[in-house]
Each structure stands twice: as C-alpha cells, then as structure tokens.
Structure 1
Amino acid sequence: MIPDFLVTHSGGFHADELLSSVVLTRLFPQAKIKRSRAPEWIAPGPDRIVYDVGGFYDAEKRIFDHHQRGAPVRDDGQPYSSFGLIWKHYGRQYLAASNVPEAHIAVVHASFDAKFVLPVDLMDNGALSPLGPLAGLMLPSLLETLKPDFDNSDPDAETTAFHNALAIARSFVEAGIARSAAKLRAETIVQQAIAATGQGRVLELPMGMPFRPAIVKAGADHLLFVVHPRDKDWCLTTIRRSDEGFEARADLPAAWAGLTNGELEAASGITGASFCHNGRFVAAAKTRDAALAMAELAVAEALGN
C-alpha cells in the first residue's frame, strides 16, 4: 500500500532519519513528511511509514524504530539505526528506482550497506566514536551542523532546516550509489581488457576508471601498469598492491621522477613524454604511442631487463 505520510520525530534531527527520508521520498514522492511525537502520529497505520520513532520495529506494520529495549541488530550483532532498517527493507527498491541494473542490485545494496549505511548506524548508536581533528567532518556530524541555533525563535526553523538538510543528504546518497554502480560497470570493461591483454604487463583501458578491484578479482597478478587516454593526453599509472597504503606493484623509473616535457623526453628517450610525478606513481604522455613506450620501459626496468 502506498503511504500518504512518512512519519518521523519532530525536534532535533540526526543523520539516520534524514537518510531514511532520502530513500523513502524517492520511492513515495507523493507522501508528505510528518515530523511529530504525538501518539496518534507515531503509531502504525495503513496510511503511513513510521521511522526512528514509535517504540518498536515491525516491518509488516511499517514501523522502524531502534531506540527500544531489544532493538534489532544485524546477524553479526551490530546495531541498526532507522537508516539501516529502512535500507534493509527498501534499499533494493530504491536502487531499482535509481536505474541500477537488476543484475547489480544485490551487490550495490550490500556494498552501500557496508560502506555507507553501517557507519551511520554505528555512530547513531554510540558504537563508533571517531576521534581526532576529522571527527567533525564525518557525514552525520556535518548534517547535524545544519540544525537551527538554540535561540532561533522561528517556529518553522526546525522544519525548514530538516528539509534543507534533506536535500544535502540526498546528494550524498545519490553520489554514493552512482559511484558503486559505476565501479561495477568499470569492472566489466576492465575484465574485457584483461582478457585482451593476455600475459602482457601493461593494461590498456579506453578511459580512466576504477581498475584495481577487477584486476584483483581476475587474479591478474602479472599486470604492472595501466595506460588510458585522458582529456588531451594519455596517462600511465601504477597498480597499488593493496587497498591500504600506496605501495605499487612496480614504480615508474627513478630517473623520471619530477621531470616534465623536454627533460622527461631526454631522460626516457621517448618523444611525447610530458610528465612524471615525483612519487613515481603516475606519468603522462602526449600520444598513445608515447604512453605505451613509457610503459614498456617501466616494465623492463621493473623486471630488471
């Protein structure tokens, strides 16, 4: 049954009901958000979905609170916030409505839950407390800075601030979903390129894209460098050994570090070589042939040939 109302609590808002509202308003755009703590509103009913308020969790009755004793937890015991519960029950529908291909929905749903939803759930439940100077830059903290000041006497201030924050929260969810879906599209392209490369050491791609996850998944341990076109030139980049840190399978030649244009051409012997980062993890060339020539030289040095 399509709801007429999306009911959450009034007063100060937090990331979990904001992000829940992002999902629900996409699925039910005709429904009105009602922010209230009145018993007649926060009770379940056929005309509404209630979340982050109400005192219990019952998906069949469409009420999704997590503040009560015996609140729901994941299979591994980690707590849900209202966002996690809404994502669990409505996330797949949201992805379909966002034009994520059906074959990718399960993977994107799980990935977004692990990387985006779970941290919000943990912070909301006090199970994750970021420390240090970056703590205030976590998304839940940033969204809460959009609350009205304590001495704002405008009776509509909370509602106005909530809807302003909702628009910002929506942009982060949509961007996160788009990035997850894009990685899966990239994986298909990279897998095809790996097959075409065979046992070669240099992977050529048709454009810049995330490539390491597909390389790891394919077990293509022989690959050392990636070449692809950019806007007006070509890029040569290394492949990191792991998700953590910056150690590469092979670095670009030390003699190229920090050089550009004529100096790099002289050091490499390749006409069209235009740039090498001082960190030796990325270089550029004016043409495809120059980029591939740089890559082959880098392979030869890395292999000691």
Structure 2
Amino acid sequence: MSTNGSQGPVIGTHNGHFHADEALAVHLLRLLPTYKNSTLIRTRDPEVLKTCDVVVDVGAVHDHGILRYDHHQREFATTFPGSNTKLSSAGLVWMHQGRGIIEQAARINEGTPDNELLYQKLYDDFMEAFDANDNGISVYDTKALNNAGIEKKFSDKGYSIASVVNRYNYAPSATSTANGTATDKSQGQEEEDARFLRASAFVGEQFDIELSDKATNWLPARALVAKAFNDRMQYDPQGRILVIPQQADGGAPWGDHLYNLERENGCEGQVLYVLFAENGEKDSKWRIRAVSVSSDSFENRKGLLEAWRGVRDEQLSEVSGVEGAVFVHAAGFIGGTKTFEGALKMAQKSVEV
C-alpha cells in the first residue's frame, strides 16, 4: 500500500503493473474540485480499498452510486452510449463524471448543448481508444486482415499513448540502482508509485491538450462551418465548394463539422473543395483543399487537376488560367493562390472536369 498527498478524499487503485486507463482515470478525477487535492492509495488489499472514497480499476465493482469504477468482473459489459466498445476504468469515469469534468476544466456548463457535444467528441476521439486497448479490442478485425493478406509495413507499438504509458513501468528513477532495481521493498514501492504518477501526469497532459483544443478551437468552428455550408450554393449550384469565412483563417478545423453536416442534411460526399484564408488579414493568400473521402483517409473525393500538380507560380498561372496561382501540391490535395477570387476560380474549374 502506498499514498501520495495528504489532503482531501482518498482515491484507490491497484498497485503493481499499471496501464493507461487507470493512469488517466486518476487524472480525470483530480480535475474535479472534490478530488483536486486527494490522496492516492495503490493497493489490492480489499479492506484498505473499502476505506477509499473512490476506487478505479480494482475491486470488481462498477457502481457509480458508491464511486466504484472497475471493469474486470466477468459479467461486466457496459459500453458508452452509442458505442460497442467495452469500457475501461477511464471510460467509466468519463461516462459518469465527464460532463462535470468539462464544466470544471473548460468552463462549459453541464446541461448545455456545447457540453454535450464535447462529452461525446472527447469520448469518440480520445477515450474510446483507451477502453479498446485495455480490453484487447483491435481497431480492425485482425483475422479478416490476415485472410486478405494485408500485413503491417512496420511496427507501431511505440507510437500509441498506451504503449508509452507502459514504458513508465520500467523507467528508472532516483531510487534505482545501476541495474534498474530498487534497494529494498519499501523503496521499490515508492519507485513504482513515482512511475505511476509520472505516467498519470503524461497521459493527463494529453487529455488536457485534447480538451483545450476541442473547447477553444473545434467547438467554435462548428458555427462557422455551418454558415459556410448553408451559403455554399452561391459558389456552385451543386454545392460542391465550401468557403470558410475569412476571419476563421486556416486554423479553423472544418473537417469533422463538414462530414457531420453532410450526414445531417442527407448529402454525404457532396462537397469536393474547401476554400480558406491563410490568416485573418484582408490581403491574406487563400488555400483550396480537396475534401478527403473520410476523416481518417488520405484519399480525396476529387483531387485538383493532374496538369496542375507540382507546378508553381507563373507557370501554374499559365497552365491553370488562374491569375495569381501560387502552387498545387504534387499529390493534388491542396493548392494556394494570392487571392480568394483565384482560389474560387481554381475550385470552379476543378469541379467541372
């Protein structure tokens, strides 16, 4: 058994080898005022766990009413609403406490549409991967991939958050000897606890960055993209060109919102190109971006014209017939012009070929 801190309620989790889900679960709880200065106890002793105010990833009980969030019991099959992925301790904390965490960390009140949007978005884009990893669920059906003869080109084990967290189980610390082992049992437990806290801080920072980005960047962009979607017919009668308002500049994350708006309006796959300014200045250059088939695909619905690809400046203006053309990427997914009019002309030419 070990503790960290000296004030507030007690959070309990197991000692020994740790994973990303409980490391994140502890961080999530500490974003709530109740647990901000909480003591952490890491133990598998059921009598000690009974004394904890909240317990994650150990104890074989899932009961929000008594703040027990374990998922290892045989009968456990709880999933996040709308998902088929069985929850881990992190997912359980998020399902029950996520709206409150958003209110505290992003200052967006529970019960509001924006809070609910972020609650779902953070699960889809961040939390679900933790649940799947801890429950041994692959992104793809590995048997189907093998049957199709599809093989990995390289190992990506070192590039998931879960695999990075796992490294902290073996990371050296100040109490380690030259061969990486602690000098006595108590020192070994302290070292293990210190590694867990480092892992929790690491994964917690990734969550904080994700929440901040979604709250301050992704969420405000929804209204901008919705307006652009509603106005798209003025640039192309078939609605294939979307123009992001200039004040949004190139940093507005339009992709997710566009796909959602198309689904909501029954016109999936309609928009082929998105135009946006490089910055918010009146004399900003403009970009034209081919829309991907899906949010996680590099394949374009329709790339920019083959004859333009890899060509720049005056040569591109001559080939394309677009004054002020700057470049088109060799892969045909993005191009740039000196003016909005140039970008629009480039898009209008592309949709008709």
1:287 to 324, 335, 339: 339
Which residue is 2:174 aligned to?
none
1:19 Cα shift? 0.8
Counterparts of 1:148 and 1:21, CA distance in 2: 20
- RMSD value, Cα: 2.7
Cα deviation code 1:217-243 (max 9, x no counterpart): 244665432211114632111122434
2:122 to 96, 112, 115: 112
8 Å Cα contact 1:200/1:223 also seen in 2: no
1:65 to 56, 67, 70: 70
Q: TM-score, normalised by structure 2?
A: 0.75
Structure 2: state its 5+ residue gaps: 1-6, 143-151, 172-178
Q: Report the residue type matching 1:65 in the other structure.
A: D
Which residue is 2:276 aligned to?
228
Cα deviation code 1:128-157 (max 9, x no counterpart): 388751234222111111223594216222
8 Å Cα contact 2:106/2:211 also seen in 1: no
User: Do structure 1's residue 18 and structure 2's residue 9 form an aligned pair?
Assistant: no
Counterparts of 1:95 and 1:18, CA distance in 2: 19
8 Å Cα contact 1:272/1:290 also seen in 2: yes
Q: How is 1:182-261 mapped onto 2 (pairs within 5 angstroms)? A: 182-201=217-236, 202-205=241-244, 206=246, 207-208=249-250, 209-216=252-259, 217-218=261-262, 219=265, 223-231=271-279, 233-243=285-295, 245-261=297-313
Which residue is 1:173 aligned to?
207
Q: Report the residue type matching 2:253 in the other structure.
A: P
1:175 Cα shift? 2.6
Counterparts of 1:200 and 1:118, CA distance in 2: 38
1:68 Cα shift? 2.6
Report which stretch shifted further, 244-253 or 3-12.
244-253
Counterparts of 1:122 and 1:67, CA distance in 2: 13
1:170 Cα shift? 1.1
- Taking a change above 3 Å as real, the CA distance of residues 204 and 44 of structure 1, as seen in their structure-2 partners, is same
Cα deviation code 1:80-115 (max 9, x no counterpart): 221121111111111111226332222222232234
- Taking a change above 3 Å as real, the CA distance of residues 222 and 61 of structure 1, as seen in their structure-2 partners, is closer
Counterparts of 2:77 and 2:296, CA distance in 1: 32
Q: TM-score, normalised by structure 1?
A: 0.85
Report which stretch shifted further, 111-120 or 124-133.
124-133
- Taking a change above 3 Å as real, the CA distance of residues 248 and 66 of structure 1, as seen in their structure-2 partners, is closer
1:122 to 110, 132, 142: 132
Counterparts of 2:159 and 2:18, CA distance in 1: 17
Report which stretch shifted further, 193-202 or 85-94.
193-202
Counterparts of 1:78 and 1:270, CA distance in 2: 49
Tell me the matched-pair count.
298
Q: Report the residue type matching 1:32 in the other structure.
A: T
Counterparts of 1:185 and 1:123, CA distance in 2: 31
1:78 Cα shift? 4.3
Which residue is 2:147 aligned to?
none
1:270 Cα shift? 3.1
Which residue is 2:100 aligned to?
93
Structure 1: state its 5+ residue gaps: none
Cα deviation code 1:34-92 (max 9, x no counterpart): 222333421155xx211112232222111212223323522777432211211111111
Which residue is 2:352 aligned to?
303
Q: Report the residue type matching 1:80 in the other structure.
A: L
Counterparts of 2:230 and 2:74, CA distance in 1: 54
Which residue is 2:198 aligned to?
164
Report which stretch shifted further, 64-73 or 167-176.
64-73
1:189 Cα shift? 0.5
2:88 to 57, 81, 88: 81
User: Do structure 1's residue 56 and structure 2's residue 29 form an aligned pair?
Assistant: no
Counterparts of 1:61 and 1:3, CA distance in 2: 17
8 Å Cα contact 1:44/1:62 also seen in 2: no
Percent identity over paired residues: 26
Q: Report the residue type matching 2:275 in the other structure.
A: V
- Taking a change above 3 Å as real, the CA distance of residues 285 and 77 of structure 1, as seen in their structure-2 partners, is closer
- Taking a change above 3 Å as real, the CA distance of residues 212 and 124 of structure 1, as seen in their structure-2 partners, is closer
Counterparts of 1:5 and 1:43, CA distance in 2: 11
1:137 to 132, 156, 159: 159
